[in-house]
């Protein structure tokens, strides 16, 4: 059933890279009315002066203190880790009809101890974790409407899980020998990335980082292990590359029982046949992030290698769209039973 009214929404954290992409997408969505754009800086400014892509007249940037929560149907939270949980804790019980799509890590990890170990933040809303769902859109179409807190996945985990989950669930690959090599544009680190990455020639070099303990490892581990009921063993090496946006994951897997690359491709084709945002390329196709920039697509290519017992899976997304804001809007569309691609074409 089509939504017969416009959703009244707020975007909190509207001026970061992800927040601006989210505002841009939502500004074109036919079933959305943006009531508030909140941030801690640039208060009173018109968002069109911050992002020239935005053409419509929207509310000026305001403080979260100005929000009338009763007015809203849905809140998007594009905030640093640890902040969304505080806002949701204050409003969840008080405003029973209000729903949340959180783009931080606050509700991605089901175990608060694991969350603290990886983010060094004590979870302030532990009792609300059970009311949240971790949602890569392609895997939760029938479940998402039962929840008020939608936890948007990380960008690296999105590119990796879309490629791997159907294969692990079908027991087609070995789960103790997976090698994941992923490269991302620097926008994934947020607007303060220059403070986080101080290596030489930042804009002219490739940089491997957090090799042993990247925060997204626990998220990937949590979700893949749900399929096997035991720990999936993988190495994950993230790289920062001198481009603004885009992710390419190169995933090396060992097939079980001589399963061929062609078989793996056919399984993915069948699994995603009704998924409008996942494209499976021809066998052995060379793909890159350039194919998906500024779109909500995930492109996957299955490639044979020189070794029969090793298959390479390439998975490309735009980290700010399918890896963040686009998937958030896709989740919203599914949550409110709208066409999945509405506002994302």
Per-residue pLDDT in tens (0 to 9) along the chain, 345 residues: 467 789 999 999 999 999 999 999 999 999 999 999 999 999 999 999 999 999 999 999 999 999 999 999 999 999 999 999 999 999 999 999 999 999 999 999 999 999 999 999 999 999 999 999 999 999 999 999 999 999 999 999 999 999 999 999 999 999 998 999 999 998 866 666 556 666 667 778 888 888 888 889 999 999 999 999 888 999 999 999 989 999 999 999 999 988 999 999 999 999 999 999 999 999 999 999 999 999 999 999 999 999 989 999 999 999 999 999 999 999 999 999 999 999 998
Catalytic: 155?
yes
With beta carbons less than 8 A apart as the criterion, state whether 68 and 43 touch.
Answer: no
Angle separating helix axes 216-228 and 155-169, nearest 10 degrees: 20
User: What is the pTM (predicted TM-score) of this model?
Assistant: 0.94
Residue 50: per-residue pLDDT = 94
CA–CA gap between residue 73 and residue 75 (Å, rounded): 7
Helix ranges, 139-260 (H): 155-169, 193-196, 216-228
Residue 49: per-residue pLDDT = 93
Residue 193: per-residue pLDDT = 57
Q: Is the dihedral angle over the CA atoms 266, 271, 276, 278 positive or is it negative?
A: negative
Number of H helices, E strands in the chain: 9, 14
Domain ranges of the chain: 7-153+323-335, 156-320
Residue 187: per-residue pLDDT = 84
- Residue of 238, 247, 241 lying closest to 295 (CA atoms): 247
Residues 6+ apart with CB under 8 A from 156: 182, 184, 188, 214, 216, 220, 236, 238, 247, 249, 323
Do the domains at 7-153+323-335 and 156-320 have one common CATH topology?
Answer: no
Query: Which CATH number, 3.20.20.105, 3.20.20.60, 3.30.360.10, 3.40.50.300, labels domain 156-320?
Result: 3.30.360.10
Q: What Cα–Cα distance (Å) separates residue 20 from each residue in 50, 160, 315? A: 9, 25, 25
Cβ atoms within 10 A of the Cβ of 142, count? 8
With beta carbons less than 8 A apart as the criterion, state whether 27 and 34 touch.
Answer: yes
CA–CA gap between residue 222 and residue 214 (Å, rounded): 14
CATH homologous superfamily of 7-153+323-335 equals NAD(P)-binding Rossmann-like Domain (3.40.50.720)
- Burial of 1 (C-beta count, 10 Å sphere; 0-12/13-18/19+): exposed
With beta carbons less than 8 A apart as the criterion, state whether 52 and 74 touch.
Answer: no
- N-to-C CA span, the chain: 20
CA–CA gap between residue 185 and residue 180 (Å, rounded): 17
């Amino acid at each position: 059933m089509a939504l017969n009214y416009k959703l009244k929404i707020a975007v909190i954290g509207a001026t970061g890279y992800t927040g601006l992409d989210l505002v841009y997408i939502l500004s074109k969505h036919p079933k959305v009315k943006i009531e508030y754009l909140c941030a801690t800086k640039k208060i009173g400014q018109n968002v069109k002066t911050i992002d020239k892509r935005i053409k419509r007249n929207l509310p000026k940037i305001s403080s979260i203190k100005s929000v009338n929560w009763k007015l809203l149907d849905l809140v998007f939270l594009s905030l640093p880790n640890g902040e969304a949980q505080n806002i949701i804790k204050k409003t969840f019980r008080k405003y029973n009809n209000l729903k949340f799509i959180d783009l931080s890590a606050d509700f991605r990890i089901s175990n608060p101890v694991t969350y603290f170990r990886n983010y060094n933040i004590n979870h302030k809303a532990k009792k609300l974790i059970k009311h949240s769902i971790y949602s890569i859109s392609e895997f939760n179409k029938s479940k998402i409407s039962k929840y008020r807190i939608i936890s948007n996945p990380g960008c690296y985990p999105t590119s990796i899980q879309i490629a791997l989950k159907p294969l692990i669930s079908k027991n087609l690959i070995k789960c103790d020998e997976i090698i994941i090599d992923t490269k991302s544009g620097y926008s994934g680190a947020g607007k303060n990335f220059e403070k986080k990455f101080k290596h030489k020639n930042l804009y002219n070099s490739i940089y491997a980082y957090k090799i042993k303990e990247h925060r997204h490892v626990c998220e990937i581990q949590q979700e893949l292990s749900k399929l096997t009921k035991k720990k999936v063993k993988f190495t994950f090496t993230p790289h920062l590359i001198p481009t603004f946006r885009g992710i390419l994951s190169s995933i090396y897997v060992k097939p079980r029982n001589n399963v061929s690359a062609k078989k793996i491709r056919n399984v993915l084709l069948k699994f995603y046949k009704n998924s409008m945002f996942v494209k499976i390329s021809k066998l052995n196709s060379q793909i890159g992030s350039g194919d998906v920039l500024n779109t909500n697509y995930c492109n996957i290519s299955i490639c044979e290698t020189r070794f029969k017992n090793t298959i390479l899976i390439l998975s490309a997304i735009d980290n700010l769209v399918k890896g963040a804001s686009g998937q958030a809007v896709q989740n919203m569309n599914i949550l409110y039973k709208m066409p999945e691609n509405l506002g994302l074409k």
